[in-house]
Structure 1
Amino acid sequence: MRRWEADLARATYGVRTVEALRQVLERWMLRRRKPLTFRMTQVLTGHGCFGEYLHRVAQRETEPVCHDCGEARDTAQHVLEQCPRWSRQRHDLVAVLGGVDLSLPSVVNAMLGSDGAWAAVASFCETVMSQREAEERNREDHPLAEPIRRRRTGVRRRRYLARLQAPP
């Protein structure tokens, strides 16, 4: 644990997540029956359908803007704390977490405090990210989508190309 702590103290990437987990590292590692889901990981790390990630890392957006509210920087924290599109889901989450602020360290600490809080965070992440992913796919498939969006390879890209080549 000390070696991990030292490594995390020197982290230059994923600082938001590292700082949240460093405060509770031992509790995090000792948690039982609380698996991370794919969508929870996206919100905790900021690697998902967020304008900032799609712009800076995936290079699939020309700007890091939020498609839901127009905010200049769409980040995981923006979705978790501010985006008006998710106010109902956020209200439900805060009700279970006991009114804690939605900074990532507070959310992670609350998650570790009870199974109910963990489940509430998982539910928030599942609801929000599944909808954001579906909307991202719609933007990718839109005939007027910018070329940067259509760089996909693999199954989705092959299906897209097959649709383009199919007779009308």
Structure 2
Amino acid sequence: MQEKGAWTRNVIPSLIDWVDRRHGQMNYYLIQGLTGHSCFGSYFKRIGKEKEVRCHHCAAECDDPEHTWFRCPAWEVQRHEMTEMIGQVYNIQEVVSAMLQDQAKWDAAVQYITVVLREKEAAERTRRQGG
């Protein structure tokens, strides 16, 4: 099991760069996506909401933030739209680094995270309602 807060410390290794940025507003989805406290199988299992960590959007055995943001085929179109703007990224540190460069890259990353998490939340609600 991963140490509490390890993902977030990995995402934002330099708090100074994050705090000193001159652009970009935080929103609910960005916070959830960057902390890993959202519709991820790994998070749901940790809080007792699910028994497994599998991805409900593809055949992967583990749905964690890394899987969702960089590997899950369900989000390929949205991921491509983001990388068209910020460039090819291979991990969350590269996404955050791009976000810190300018407002347009910030917006592209926030758009990606927001759209994906909204879709995952909608699918989660449907699953919980038995639909």
Q: Deviations over 1:74-104 (max 9, x none)?
A: 01111110000000001111111122x2311
Question: How far has the Cα of 1:32 moved from its partner?
Answer: 2.7
Q: Which amino acid aligns with 1:75?
A: D
Q: Which runs of 5+ in 2 are unaligned?
A: none
TM-score normalised by the chain length of structure 1: 0.72
After TM superposition, which residue ranges in structure 1, 4 or more long, deviate above 6 angstroms? Answer: none
2:26 maps to what in 1? 36
Instruction: Please give the residue correspondences for 1:1-168 in structure 2 after superposition, counting only pairs within 5 Å.
Output: 12-22=3-13, 24-56=14-46, 58-99=47-88, 101-142=89-130
Q: With CA pairs under 8 Å and 6+ residues apart, which has the higher RCO, 1 or 2?
A: 2
RMSD: 1.4
Asked if the contact 1:40/1:125 (under 8 Å) is kept, the reply is yes
Identity percentage over the alignment?
A: 33
Gaps of 5+ in 1: 1-11, 144-168
Asked which structure has the greater CA Rg, the reply is 1
Task: State how far apart, in whole Å, the 2-side matches of 1:135 and 1:120 are.
Answer: 23
Q: Give 1:18's aligned amino acid.
A: R
Q: How far is the alpha carbon of 1:64 from its aligned partner? A: 0.4
Tell me how many residue pairs correspond in the alignment.
Answer: 129
